[in-house]
Structure 1
Amino acid sequence: MKKFFKNAVGHVMTGIGYMLPLIVGASLVVAIPKIIALCMGITSLDPYAETEGFTHILYLIEQVGWTGIGLTNTVLAGFIAYSIADKPAIGAGLIGGMVASNTNAGFLGALIAAFAAGYTVKWAKEHIHLPDAMQQIMPLVICPFLATGAVALLMGVILAGPLSFINASLVEWLRQLCTSGTSQLVLALILGAMICSDMGGPINKSAWMAGNVLMTEGIFQPNVFINCAICIPPLAYAIATTIRKKRFSADLYEGGKGCWVMGFIGITEGAIPYTLVKPQVLIPVNMVGGALGAAVTCLLGATAEIPPVGGIYGFISIANGWAYLVGILAGALFIALVSTWLVNFNVNVEGDSSDISLDDIDIDITIE
């Protein structure tokens, strides 16, 4: 059972990895027209759906972005199924994700559909044995048919109603959570700590995914806290290497220059080489810094009425954007000061920020 859950987490992470370019691209295509419209004094592009001119073009571009965001559950489910059982499962997974969106079963429904499709194909491969002359129809006909049938029965007949109710109830609860002052602060603390805990690992991805799930439901506030926390760890170590150079080895000091860029655009992995010097001390410090930054952002009143853009420059998409910047700075300064007080980084560690490959980088731009 432990192995199953470990594999399941890996499959979900694969799905998220394939979904990330969709979210980033579609979100920016939504956000940029909105920001241009705001600069023109326009708060919504919907009234320009039937007009002509530049504002109508902005509306059309925005709608393309929303179409992409609407495919979130579809792509997620398709590639989770693909991770489980390869190409024969991807079609059923995509169908299941689309059904989950259409029936308001949401993210939970997409996960169930993906695992149903993937493990149906996996079971078929292991238990259905055809003559050699007919083996070619297994991946093209038998497996897709069985997987799609399983998804249709499960998502279209058995679970559509219950999952829709559960998803609607959960979304409403989270919406209420985001409007309550105390609850919103708790949410900011939790999300900030999660983002800065393993920096690109499963906990970080879980918080990021939660923000994207809420994003598809029109709840943007959690993404403000997530985007704030994402910038904090790399920016913190960039500041630390600048103000306390003698506490760092030559390699880590040089890596700090790259952390300025990673902090600016929101790549938490930039802080990993520094955290590895003494993880038992620095992981809690990072988590407190992330929680502090997100909490400050919350308390100072940073809000999002449109999809917030990730990175430090994301303040342009946030009401009271200065509060967002202050939160990032507060969290980064906390980590920079406390980490260099507790830990001497003037040692050789394996890897620096230049060792991070492009495949390892997770650009957490969260918008809707």
Structure 2
Amino acid sequence: MTGVSFMLPFVVAGGLSIALSFVFGINAAEQEGSLAAALMQIGGNSAFALMVPILAGYIAFSIADRPGIAPGMIGGMLASSIGAGFLGGIIAGFLAGYITQWLKKTIKLPENLQGLMPILILPFLASLIVGLLMIYLIGPPVEGIMNGLESWLQGMTDANAVLLGLILGAMMAFDMGGPVNKAAYTFGVGLLGSEIYGPMAAIMAAGMTPPLGLALATVLFKNRFTRQEIEAGKPAWFMGISFITEGAIPFAAADPIRVIPSIMTGSAITGALSMLFGVGLRAPHGGIFVLPIPNVVTNLGFYALAIIAGTIVTAFMLRILKPKLEE
């Protein structure tokens, strides 16, 4: 998931710029020349516009090294322009990477022309192939899938919303910043551009509860943790409120059989409650620090309740599953 790691700074910078534009009102960015419009241009029209191309480009880079970047980014840009979204970008990234690798192994040039391969031949041919595939073969069906997904999300019943929140929440806690976590996060971020904010709220809340629940457990149930783990619980508070799910990793690494089910349960409940309460979040990162920004979160009180509930459930799951340590 190299692409997600490179995409994340664009998501954070763009998302927080958009969030700041909402300080002036939900529709303030429609006023040309205003500061809100400038912030929206920075975040929505620039940083977010680069999101899918960066994702695709660096997926390709992880497969084919530098020659894969150009075809990957071009494929990602095409995915955005034809409406295939982040799903199309992921496909474009893998296509670009493997096509570039295949071309590299297939094309044989004389020794004196080898220097042209990484800067001319591979990027050009791979971009051509990926571009044509995206426009004529892959783009239209993926666009249909994305449109169908958006329609389903917009018309979700409460039961469907809760189920989605449950799944996304569990995914966020499963590997704490790993591929499954990033897949859920990328899904939520991809929907922000379609003005669907519920999944992003569930995802961020569910990503906060693992460190928070563990931190709470080290306070309430000290006899379940080593002295080192109790000390690790102190910074976990800050990592939790900052939406740094990786704060749970030291605990999960020490006792994965008990910790991972506990944090998955708490995060799943948080995600489900967030969706049930109809919470929406317009910022893709920032933890509790974006919550005071006006108009960024809908149903803020219920959002806080969902996070608190998941934190408590996580702590008590740890109380149940983890045995007392011998004195």
Deviating runs (4+, > 4 A) in structure 1? Answer: none
Matched, 1:93 2:93: no
> Is 2:39 the counterpart of 1:61?
yes
Residue in 1 that maps onto 2:210? 233
Distance (whole Å) between structure 2 residues aligned to residue 206 and residue 191 of structure 1 = 9
Hey, what does 2:101 align to over in structure 1? 122
Kindly indicate whether the alpha-carbon contact (under 8 Å) linking 1:315 and 1:322 is maintained by their aligned counterparts in 2. Answer: no
User: Counterparts of 1:159 and 1:298 in 2: how far apart (Å)?
Assistant: 31
Amino acid at match of 2:129: A
Question: How far apart are the structure 2 equivalents of 1:125 and 1:45?
Answer: 50
Conservation of the 8 A alpha-carbon contact between 1:92 and 1:147: yes
- Compared with structure 1, are the counterparts of its residues 308 and 268 closer, same or farther at alpha carbon in structure 2 (3 Å cutoff)? closer
Shift of residue 154 of structure 1? Answer: 0.8
User: Deviation digits for residues 210-267 of structure 1, max 9, x if unmatched?
Assistant: 1112122221110111111111010111111122233321111111111011011011
Change beyond 3 A, Cα 1:308–1:126: closer
Corresponding position of 2:32: 49
Q: Which residue of 1 aligns with 2:4?
A: 16
Once the two structures are superposed, the pairs formed by residues 264-279 of structure 1 within 5 Å of their partners are: 264-279=241-256
Give 1:332 deviation, angstroms.
Answer: 0.8
> Is the alpha carbon distance of 1:308 and 1:345 closer, same or farther for their aligned partners in structure 2, counting shifts above 3 Å?
farther
TM-score, normalised via structure 1 length: 0.82
Deviation of 1:43 (Å) = 2.6
Preserved contact between residue 56 and residue 72 of structure 2 (Cα < 8 Å): yes
Matched AA of 1:156: I
- Find the counterpart in structure 1 of residue 155 from structure 2: 176
Query: What is the correspondence of 1:1-368 to structure 2 with a 5 Å cutoff?
Result: 13-34=1-22, 36-37=23-24, 42-50=25-33, 56-66=34-44, 67-177=46-156, 180-304=157-281, 306-307=282-283, 309-316=285-292, 317-344=296-323, 346=325
SS in 2 for 1:43: coil
State whether residues 21 and 40 of structure 2, in contact with CA within 8 Å, keep that contact through their aligned partners in structure 1: yes
1:75 deviates by 0.7
Cα separation, 2, equivalents of 1:173 and 1:79: 30
The separation in 2 between residues aligned to 1:201 and 1:48, in whole angstroms, is 40
CA deviation after TM superposition for structure 1 residue 301, in Å: 4.1
Deviation at 1:345?
A: 6.9
Measured in 1, the distance between the counterparts of 2:137 and 2:285 equals 38
Q: Unpaired runs of 5+ in structure 2?
A: none
* CA displacement, residues 10-30 of structure 1 (integer Å, 9 cap, x when unaligned): xxx011111111111111111
3-state DSSP class of the match of 2:298? coil
CA distance in 2, matches of 1:30, 1:345: 47
> RMSD of the TM alignment (CA)?
1.9
CA contact (8 A) 1:244 1:340 kept: yes
TM-score, length basis structure 2: 0.92
Identity of aligned residues (%): 39
Aligned residues of 2:60 and 2:68 also touching (Cα < 8 A): yes
